[in-house]
Amino acid sequence: MSRRGFKDSAELLHDLLDRLEAKPAVGRHLAYIDYDGFSSVADQDRMIGALERVARDEGIALQRKSVDGIDTITHVRLVDPQILYRHLGRQPAAMSVHEALSDVRSRIDLPPSAALALDDLAGAWARGVSRFTLAAGDADALAETIALVLALHDRAPDSTSLLDYRTFSRMAGVRSKSLEQRAAAVVAMYDRFYPGMLELGLDAADTLATFGVTRLPQPLLLSGPFTFNGETWPGTSYLGVPPEEGDRLGVARPVRYVLTIENYASFVRHVREINSDRTGLIFYTGGFPARPILKQIVRLTGQSGAPAFHWGDMDPGGVRIFRHLEDALAVHQIALRPHMMNADLLAKHGAPTPSRRGLKVGACPNSAIAELWDQIAEAELGYEQESFAPSSPLSM
């Protein structure tokens, strides 16, 4: 491995302290001079003179040997970091981190589990390492993230409406673009502040959607025979309703089946090609359904009394969405069945996927998706639903 050389004394000393803070257990920290990098002998002499002054104060030791008859410094060894801190006017990382965290730790609205999470972050920052995707020492980013985490938790018990990221950020008292920039940090820290409360294995955007917080809130898109405020809705292929007004919808007449669809293109194709007679009740979930949309899916599915199916991608995200819908419907004694999501189809059409995103074999033994789940976890295969033509789940 090639070693890095320096031609500036302050840069060399800072590097020694950086490596000490990153790996305090390492016994020897050495640095080297880049003799070939100096533009003149005078520049080289100035650097060596600066290092010799710090060595006289016993902050560093200079290892010398004769090279072609010339007394030469071969390397610089850190001896007393406190002398280097004083010489450079630098504060130890642990002290800087303490100051960066002091305002956050003083908040009285943090849950008890926050202390351990902040200790974890402080330990990483003291080594110059990012934690929860927050760069070491970025106190402003941490303050914003904490504010968003607490606002999200306040919203958790009753996420009955949709909010966009920027509105949510302003309501949390931070910059309007904060959540867009800190989404991963917010979800990671929320999981530590409130362990066991998040859906496992979801990315940040899908996790936030479960709270009804999305980049651009979508309407509730659905197809079928509906009433709106008790009046029969005209025969359109599908309609969009603000989710918070979904309670004004009803099922106008019996339907043959209910189908939730993960992706927009597949939703549009199904309602146009299969459900033109509106004998099915079809919902677009928009990927992982936000809580207000999930509420209406559950309510209207229960009202229909028809068998319920879900059609989504055969990949880790797709089976997680199925499980989320399955659990929500099971609370109301409604069984959910997969449509064009099974092990035989995946074995025939599936392609290798880059990541299982934490899928574990045997994680959902009593689910209707259990066999496909395990196959994805074991074989790391996937297949997008848009590649299939739509069909009625009653014909399969």
pLDDT tens-digit profile of 54-84? Answer: 899 888 899 988 877 788 888 899 888 888 8
What separation in angstroms does the CA of 163 have from each of 45, 141, 180, 245, 301? 63, 22, 13, 14, 24
Residue 39, pLDDT above cutoff 60: yes
Window from 103-107, 188-192, 356-360, 370-374 with minimum mean pLDDT: 356-360
What pLDDT score was predicted for residue 354? 64
Of 241, 216, 213, 214, whose CA–CA distance to 226 is shortest? 241
Window from 199-208, 306-315, 344-353 with minimum mean pLDDT: 199-208
Share of the chain above pLDDT 90, in %: 48
Mean pLDDT score of the chain, rounded to an integer?
88
b/e code 45-55 from CB counts within 10 Å (16+ = b): eebeebbeebb
Q: Are strands 30-33 and 5-6 parallel, antiparallel or unpaired?
A: parallel
Q: What is the pLDDT of residues 263-305, one digit of tens each?
A: 999 999 999 999 999 999 999 998 888 888 999 999 999 999 9
b/e code 123-149 from CB counts within 10 Å (16+ = b): ebbbbbeebbbbebbebebbbbbbbbb
What pLDDT score was predicted for residue 1? 44
Hey, where are the domains in the chain?
5-88, 93-214, 220-395
What pLDDT score was predicted for residue 196? 86
Pick the more confident residue, 170 or 202.
170
352, 194 Cβ separation under 8 angstroms: no
Distance separating alpha carbons of residues 91 and 107, to the nearest angstrom: 25
What pLDDT score was predicted for residue 158? 64
Distance separating alpha carbons of residues 262 and 90, to the nearest angstrom: 54
Window from 115-124, 178-187, 325-334 with minimum mean pLDDT: 115-124
Residue 212, pLDDT above cutoff 90: no
Residue 236, pLDDT above cutoff 60: yes
Of 252, 245, 243, 250, whose CA–CA distance to 220 is shortest? 243
Residue 348 has which token pair? 């025939």
Burial-class residue 4 by CB neighbours within 10 Å (0-12, 13-18, 19+). Answer: exposed
Residue 192, pLDDT above cutoff 90: yes
220-395: CATH class: alpha beta
Residue 155, pLDDT above cutoff 50: yes
Cα 300 to the chain's mean position, in Å? 31
pLDDT confidence bin for 203, thresholds 50/70/90: confident
Window from 38-52, 82-96, 139-153, 292-306 with minimum mean pLDDT: 82-96
What pLDDT score was predicted for residue 382? 85
Region 362-367: mean pLDDT is 90
Region 19-42: mean pLDDT is 85
What pLDDT score was predicted for residue 355? 58
Of 282, 294, 288, 287, whose CA–CA distance to 386 is shortest? 287
Task: Please give the model's pTM, rounded to 2 decimal places.
Answer: 0.66
